Amino acid sequence: MIFSAASRALPLRPGPNRIETDRRTELPDVNECQICRTPAPLVPGLCDGVAGYRLIRDPWAGRPSFLDGNLHFSCLAESEKNPVFFAEFTHMLRAGHEEVDSLDGTPPPLTRMGLGMRQIFSGSECRVFESGVSDRWMVVRRTGPWFRLRRADLTDIERGRTPLSPAEVTPYRLPMDLGGVDDMSLLELLSALGVNGTGPQPTWRAPQPLPDEARGFLANHAKTYTPVTFEDEKHA
């Protein structure tokens, strides 16, 4: 097929055509949501990212690709392709050192390190995974969104409290065209960036919207859990 200069010079149009065009001609911006292609700051409980070296297949890409970038949890939960992501993501959580097929399926295969976690709960809404080497857990909703928990979070859940997102700073470069950021509340800012949760309104330490079945399981689990490390106490 021959592309003329005129056809290449066509302006990008909004809507699905634009997404397709971006996918083919530009490297995706890892700061953008890989589903809707709008800015996606990392806000625990509302948006998180998958690094390219995890070698998780990108079900939203127009051609075989590995996911590399952020995902709005709202986009993920609404996507009809989230079962594919859920299967790939939860497999990676459990996997150790393993080979995965290259993007075009031809040898040699690629090697990746999974997180080596073990599944400790499987319910109708989510699965829960536990690290064997540190006091870390991951709750993954069957619709895709995932939540990282530390020992202090497990203690909160055991005491009937809702764990809050970490109080750490996550740098994020705001898009140039946002305007008027100084006058925005956090909620307005997140909304302008397309991050809309369905749960409680976010604050700088947002309550983590865990499924009830995960909270119930983890509250019991905390009673018998033996810590692997005591690093959380050191920083408490």
The residues that touch Zn ion, with contacts defined as CB under 5 A, are 33, 35-36, 72, 75
- C-beta closer to Zn ion: residue 72 or 215: 72
* Residue ranges of E strands in 21-62: 47-50
- C-beta closer to Zn ion: residue 33 or 139: 33
The rounded distance, in Å, linking the Cα atoms of 128 and 120 is: 6
- C-beta closer to Zn ion: residue 27 or 167: 27
CB of 60 to Zn ion, least distance (A): 10
CB of 92 to Zn ion, least distance (A): 21
Amino acid identity, residue 119?
A: Q
Q: Which of 63, 78, 224, 90 is nearest to 158 (CA)?
A: 224
CA atoms lying within 13 Å on the CB side of residue 78: 10
CB of 33 to Zn ion, least distance (A): 3
CB of 61 to Zn ion, least distance (A): 14
CB of 32 to Zn ion, least distance (A): 8
Q: What are the C-alpha distances in Å from 196 to residues 189, 200, 213?
A: 10, 10, 23
Q: Which of 111, 106, 107 is nearest to 54 (CA)?
A: 111
- The answer to whether 166 and 232 have CB atoms below 8 angstroms apart is no
Q: Would you call the peptide bond into 207 cis, given omega within 30 degrees of 0 as the criterion?
A: no
CB of 177 to Zn ion, least distance (A): 17
- C-beta closer to Zn ion: residue 50 or 218: 50
Residue nearest to Zn ion (CB): 33
- C-beta closer to Zn ion: residue 36 or 222: 36
Q: Which of 87, 10, 95, 26 is nearest to 61 (CA)?
A: 26
The rounded distance, in Å, linking the Cα atoms of 90 and 128 is: 10
- C-beta closer to Zn ion: residue 35 or 140: 35
